[in-house]
């Protein structure tokens, strides 16, 4: 038992994360006399980048570069500005990148678990590949992410300590760490996609499995590279996701059938997703994960409602068993152009929907709840604002993904 505990402590050690970052060419500049506190002000550089000043620069201390770079950031990699947390305003610390290829590769890898990817990937699957697979994939994504976020709040482990870890990303730094929900989605989405399409579409199974594995490994390793998770967080996320899939995938037919054909499905869908959101907001104090959870639940509710409406109206019918397996059409310039045009036009509709609903919902909810709307960041730290805002906005977006946009395509 003691050996197992020792192994867990080793996998959770932030120095293990720091060594991986060092191996990949990430160098962090920390203050020798400032206790490792990170920068809180910035100064523009001639090349348009932003150089962050550490506590050592302000207080007369000496800046120390963790790695082989020189203090002050004079290396070929330069100083990389960080993406601030849009709600907390966390700015992060300066860091140096000596291997740009790995930096961009892992940045791409972590984007495979962010909103900008999902708002294009899921619609692409639904509009250009297979709506049946797309709506079920979103069901898996919703449950995996919801359980992951709630588990984070119950366990309450903090992110890896900095220093020694370099926080290459700050956007999710206010959330808890265990398990990694990026690792969970990076496992559940590609392997669910593989399992749902295997036998339904004609393609080499070995190719599908290898692509799913590469996707999973890229997302998981990116979270360690960016300093967001320990190795233990990532491993736990992968195993937790596998456990959820073992129970949830066999129930997909039953759940999907209920959403499509039951007369009470709209009421159950709305109340269930809203109730889950209310429950998640009671688990811990406010953080950005509260809004993320409501956003995921709203999207899932919107897509499920659209599935029910489509079924009632006879729109987007599923393929019959005699039409399977499906074959991919021959790749041509016309096919690619049509797919790109559908994606661009559809995403524009979704972006417009989100912007319109956001502009309307936040002031409306603030007025109803009696909360000042002058400072949107502070207003959204209230559950009474953040939950209905995210739920309504992304519920509408999810509904339009599977109902409005395909309906518009059918009339073009």
Residue 258 CA, distance from chain mean position: 27
Residues whose CB falls within 8 Å of the CB of residue 290, separated by 6 or more in sequence, listed in order:
280, 281, 383, 386, 387
Is 273 an active-site residue? no
* Element spanning 107, H or E: helix 100-111
Residue owning tokens 């989405």: 189
Both tokens of residue 78?
Answer: 């330069």
Strand bridging mode 26-31 / 95-97? antiparallel
Q: What are the CA-CA distances from residue 113 to residues 172, 215, 252 (Å)?
A: 12, 10, 22
3 state SS of 43: strand
367 contact partners, CB below 8 Å, separation of at least 6? 373
Q: Which two tokens mark 268?
A: 């159950």
Cβ-defined contacts of 316-322 (< 8 Å, 24+): 316/131, 316/402, 316/406, 318/131, 318/132, 319/132
Annotated catalytic residue within 22, 52, 53, 182: 182
- How many angstroms separate the CA atoms of 83 and 171, rounded? 6
The active-site residue out of 52, 53, 229, 273 is 229
> For the chain, give me the number of helices (H) and strands (E)?
16, 7
Q: Is 284 exposed, middle or buried (0-12, 13-18, 19+ CB in 10 A)?
A: middle
The answer to whether residue 182 is catalytic is yes
Active site residues: 182, 229
């Amino acid at each position: 038992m003691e050996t197992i505990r020792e192994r867990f402590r080793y996998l959770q050690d932030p120095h293990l994360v720091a060594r991986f970052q060092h191996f990949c060419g990430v160098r962090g500049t920390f203050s020798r006399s400032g206790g490792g506190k990170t920068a809180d002000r910035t100064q523009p550089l001639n090349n348009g980048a932003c150089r962050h000043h550490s506590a050592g620069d302000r207080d007369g201390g000496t800046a120390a570069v963790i790695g082989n770079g020189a203090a002050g950031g004079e290396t070929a990699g330069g100083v990389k500005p960080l993406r601030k947390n849009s709600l907390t305003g966390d700015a992060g610390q300066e860091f140096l990148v000596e291997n740009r290829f790995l930096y961009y590769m892992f940045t791409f890898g972590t984007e495979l678990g962010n909103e900008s990817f999902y708002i294009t990937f899921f619609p692409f699957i639904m509009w250009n590949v297979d709506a049946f697979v797309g709506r079920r994939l979103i069901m898996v994504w919703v449950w995996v992410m919801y359980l992951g976020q709630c588990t984070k709040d119950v366990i309450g482990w903090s992110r890896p300590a900095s220093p020694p870890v370099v926080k290459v990303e700050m956007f999710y730094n206010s959330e808890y760490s265990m398990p990694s929900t990026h690792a969970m989605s990076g496992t559940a989405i590609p392997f669910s996609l593989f399992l749902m399409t295997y036998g339904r579409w004609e393609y080499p199974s070995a190719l599908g499995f290898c692509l799913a594995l590469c996707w999973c490994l890229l997302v998981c390793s990116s979270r360690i590279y960016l300093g967001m998770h320990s190795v233990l967080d990532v491993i736990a996320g992968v195993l937790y996701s596998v456990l959820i899939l073992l129970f949830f995938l066999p129930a997909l037919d039953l759940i999907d059938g209920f959403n499509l054909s039951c007369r009470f499905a709209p009421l159950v869908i709305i109340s269930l997703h809203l109730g889950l959101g209310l429950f998640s907001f009671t688990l811990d104090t406010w953080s950005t994960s509260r809004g993320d959870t409501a956003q995921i639940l709203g999207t899932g509710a919107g897509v499920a409602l659209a599935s029910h409406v489509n079924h009632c109206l006879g729109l987007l019918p599923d393929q019959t068993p005699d039409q399977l397996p499906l074959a991919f059409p021959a790749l041509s310039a016309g096919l690619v152009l049509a797919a790109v045009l559908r994606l661009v036009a559809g995403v524009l509709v979704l972006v417009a929907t989100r912007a319109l609903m956001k502009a309307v919902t936040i002031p409306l909810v603030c007025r109803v709840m009696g909360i000042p709307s002058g400072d949107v960041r502070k207003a959204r730290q209230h559950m009474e604002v953040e939950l209905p805002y995210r739920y309504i906005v992304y519920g509408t977006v999810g509904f339009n993904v599977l109902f409005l946009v395909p309906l518009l395509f059918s009339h073009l």
